[in-house]
Amino acid sequence: MKDKSVWRFSIVLIVLLSGTFSASNAQIWVGPKGGFQGSQFFFAEQEDGDLYNEAPWLGWNAGWVSNFDVVDNWSLAIDIVYSEKSRRYTAVLPTDIIFFHRATYSYLDVSPLLRYSIGNLPRHYYINVGPVIGLWLGGRGRIDTEFTQEAGLDDGYRYTIVFNPDRQTIDRNMLVSDGNRVQVGIEAGVGAQFDVLYDKRIQVDLRYQMGHTYLGGQQGGNFGFAGLPFNENFRGIHHVAQLSVAFLTAFEFKEFRDRSYLVK
């Protein structure tokens, strides 16, 4: 599935379900959520994967979730979440230099998911699937090599990602000139919801996210080391396993609709 297909699917899903939702007297469940996630970067080319020994790493996520009842057991879940996705790898460069790299990337993820619920109140379970659209906000990292030790950097070379193709790489920055700031992927998962009051419920959610858009090119990140060109390889995708807990409050759609008429 190409990126454009994912975008089209997202738009069609939201439009169709929103139309069905607006015509009904349904409930809206909204509230904050947070949790942890494990991520791992996978290269597009096998030879790159053989060179870099990528490892999974833990991060966290937090944001706002909403669930719109549509019809029967079907609903539309839309999450807007800040998340951290990491890279950890050790590589031996062609010059026989051992290169250890740790990086954390910041994202704003939007997930419109089609959800099907089963079970009876006060507890029920669900499955959901749909696209995820991620905005790459930035990141930071640390590099350790024999050159950083010779330079007296015992804690490694720490840097911040800079998205600006017109700016020269300077100390403590990694210039990403061809990064894909907007990335799309597929997300699927399962979860459970527990009613604690007539209009309150706790949601426990487990999801798996597979990226589709490459982060960038094979030499997408320039570290600007003096006398030694280091270039980060962004030609790959993230796989993410996410566990989160949300606290939701119910509102009737009719209440919002009536209030909007009163304002007019």
217-226 pLDDT, tens per residue? 887 787 655 4
Range of the domain at 164: 3-263
pLDDT of res. 251: 87
Q: HSE-up of 180 (CA within 13 Å, CB side)?
A: 20
Residue with tokens 């975008």: 7
Determine whether 22 is exposed, middle or buried from the number of CB atoms within 10 Å of its CB (0-12, 13-18, 19+): exposed
Q: Do 101 and 157 touch, CB atoms closer than 8 A? A: no
Mean pLDDT for all residues in the chain: 81
Q: What total number of domains does the chain contain?
A: 1
Distance in angstroms (rounded) separating the CA atoms of residues 236 and 239? 10
18 three-class SS: helix
**Contact (Cβ atoms closer than 8 angstroms) between residue 4 and residue 51:** no
| Tokens 């990491």 found at | 86
As a whole number, mean pLDDT of residues 156-168 equals 75
- Asked if the model's pLDDT at residue 141 lies above 80, the reply is yes
pLDDT confidence of residue 44: 84
* Structure confidence by residue, pLDDT tens digits, 58-93: 999 999 999 998 888 899 999 999 999 999 988 776
Cα–Cα distance between 38 and 60 in angstroms, integer?
8
Q: What pLDDT does residue 221 have? A: 80
Residue 103: name the closest of 117, 85, 83, 80 by CA: 85
Q: Name the residue with higher pLDDT: 53 or 17.
A: 53
- Using CB atoms within 10 A of its CB, is residue 41 exposed (0-12), middle (13-18) or buried (19+)? buried
HSE on the CB side for 145, CA within 13 Å?
A: 16
Percent of the chain with pLDDT over 90: 43
User: Where residue 243 falls among pLDDT bands split at 50, 70, 90?
Assistant: very high
Residue with tokens 């980060």: 232
Triad 175, 98, 146: Cα angle to 5°: 80
Question: How many whole angstroms separate alpha carbon 85 and alpha carbon 61?
Answer: 9
Q: What is the share, in percent, of the chain residues with pLDDT greater than 70? A: 75
14: domain CATH number? 2.40.160.20
Q: What are the C-alpha distances in Å from 66 to residues 59, 153, 249?
A: 22, 46, 9
